[in-house]
């Protein structure tokens, strides 16, 4: 887990760097607008005054305007670059404020946006800066290039973390996580580190024996990596439903809601309960066959990776026929 903690700290720091890089781009766009507008405005004004007094246009004015017809286009390019810089800033600040400790595929959308828009900005900024006459350049023009380097490095690191975690989860999933009944504590630690710490997004559980004990074990497995999940859906059977279990689900839902995680507990259809023997845990990309959660750390049955496509399809079927725990209690109360 120390590795995960170090990655979390690094990612948090990189999110800050992305925002700083975006601000540097924004500074560069404002500066180039100021520079080009000033040069263009002064040049046009001087040229108009010279013409009004029937004077010849001086060489300095000529170099600013008449000899550099692209100066006006540069002003336009600088304004477009400002809009692009705002978009880069928006995507970087979304990442910073999301407070996700470990990046996921959702994070990748914003990092990809930062990278693409950052590249577009640099292209526009470079074209606009070409229109600044020699001798009017400044070291401030280097700021957005430095900002882009920071952006590119930060985006590269985030993508590296996402891909590394994805491949690591795949590699580990191919080999069964060994479960030794004589080592219940070690088994729980191994399952948490090998499986649950690598899962992100929508966590889904299919276990018809999922009861109060299973819920406690499940919480122990997800507690350290709460920031990885956005939603948790549990499918169990009506036989497991009792006052204690229902109350614990409601209490856990309250806690998870406070952490920004939605908890949805449902009861499988009676026919599905009879036919569904496998226990499955999955996120948005990986699925595992697991022992019953109420004895997950005390059984010799190993945890193995299964086809995500098949597991996802099976979950969708069971979910479509399942009833929300709260709705079932209301119907039962009416009867």
Q: Read off the pLDDT of each residue in 264-293 and give the average, rounded to a whole number.
A: 91
Cα torsion 318, 321, 322, 328 to 10°: value is -170
Coil, strand, or helix at residue 281? strand
pLDDT: is 171 or 112 the higher one? 112
Least confident span in 63-77, 236-250, 278-292: 63-77
Q: In what order do the strands lie in the sheet with 287-290?
A: 304-306, 287-290, 279-282, 201-206, 229-236, 262-267, 323-324
Q: Which residues contact 76 (CB under 8 A, 6 or more apart)?
A: none
- Check residue 146 and give its pLDDT: 92
> Burial code of 107-140, b = ≥16 C-beta within 10 A, e = fewer?
beebbebbbebbebbbebbebbbebbeeeeeeee
- Check residue 173 and give its pLDDT: 44
Q: What are phi and psi of 280, to 5 degrees?
A: -130, 140
> CATH number of the domain at 178-334, please?
3.30.870.10
Least confident span in 99-103, 157-161, 285-289: 99-103
pLDDT averaged over the chain? 81
Tell me the per-residue pLDDT of 138-183, one tens digit each, with 9 for 90 and over.
778 889 899 899 988 888 888 887 777 655 554 444 445 777 778 8
pLDDT band at 268 (very low <50, low <70, confident <90, very high): very high
Domain range list for the chain: 2-169, 178-334
Please answer whether residues 327 and 246 qualify as being in contact, where contact means their C-beta atoms are separated by less than 8 angstroms.
no
Which of 151, 95, 163, 100 lies closest to 121, judged by CA?
Answer: 151
Please answer whether residues 74 and 36 qualify as being in contact, where contact means their C-beta atoms are separated by less than 8 angstroms.
yes
Highest mean pLDDT among 99-113, 131-145, 291-305: 291-305
Q: Which residues contact 306 (CB under 8 A, 6 or more apart)?
A: 280, 287, 288, 289
- Check residue 23 and give its pLDDT: 92
pLDDT band at 66 (very low <50, low <70, confident <90, very high): very low
pLDDT band at 100 (very low <50, low <70, confident <90, very high): low
Tell me the per-residue pLDDT of 308-333, one tens digit each, with 9 for 90 and over.
889 999 999 999 999 998 888 777 76
User: Across the strands, what pairs with 229?
Assistant: 201
What is 63-110 written as a DSSP string?
A: IIIIT-TTHHHHHHHHHHHHHHHHHHHHHHHHHHHH--SS--HHHHHH
- Check residue 227 and give its pLDDT: 85
% pLDDT > 90, the chain: 26
Coil, strand, or helix at residue 48? helix
Q: Give the Å distances, CA to CA, from 279 to 57, 105, 211, 314, 319.
A: 84, 26, 13, 11, 14
Task: Give the C-alpha separation, 182 to 96, whole Å.
Answer: 44
Residue 191, judged by CB atoms within 10 A of its CB (0-12, 13-18, 19+), counts as buried
């Amino acid at each position: 887990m120390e590795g995960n903690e170090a990655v979390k700290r690094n990612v948090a720091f990189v999110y800050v760097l992305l925002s700083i890089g975006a601000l540097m781009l924004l500074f560069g766009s404002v500066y180039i607008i100021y520079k080009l507008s000033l040069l263009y405005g002064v040049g046009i004004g001087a040229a108009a005054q010279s013409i009004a007094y029937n004077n010849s246009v001086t060489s300095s004015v000529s170099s600013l305007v008449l000899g550099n017809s692209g100066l006006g286009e540069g002003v336009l390019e600088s304004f477009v670059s400002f809009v692009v810089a705002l978009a880069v800033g928006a995507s970087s600040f979304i990442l910073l404020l999301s407070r996700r400790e470990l990046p996921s595929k959702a994070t990748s959308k914003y990092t990809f946006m930062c990278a693409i828009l950052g590249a577009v900005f640099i292209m526009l900024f470079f074209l606009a800066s070409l229109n600044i006459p020699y001798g009017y350049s400044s070291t401030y023009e280097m700021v957005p290039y430095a900002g882009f380097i920071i952006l590119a490095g930060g985006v590269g690191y985030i993508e590296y973390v996402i891909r590394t975690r994805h491949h690591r989860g795949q590699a580990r999933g191919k080999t069964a996580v060994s479960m030794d009944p004589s080592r219940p504590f070690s088994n729980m630690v191994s399952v948490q580190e090998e499986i649950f710490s690598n899962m992100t997004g929508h966590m889904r559980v299919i276990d018809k024996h999922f009861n109060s004990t299973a819920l406690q074990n499940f919480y122990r497995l997800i507690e350290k990596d709460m920031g990885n999940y956005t939603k948790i859906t549990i499918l169990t059977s009506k036989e497991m439903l009792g006052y204690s279990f229902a109350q614990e689900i409601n209490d856990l839902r309250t806690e998870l809601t406070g952490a920004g995680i939605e908890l949805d507990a449902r009861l499988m259809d009676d026919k599905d309960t009879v036919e569904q023997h496998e226990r499955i845990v999955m996120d948005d990309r990986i699925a595992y066959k697991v022992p019953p959660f109420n004895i997950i750390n005390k059984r010799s049955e190993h945890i193995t990776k299964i086809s995500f496509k098949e597991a996802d399809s099976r979950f969708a079927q069971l979910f479509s026929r399942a009833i929300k725990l709260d709705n079932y209690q209301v119907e039962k109360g009416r009867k």
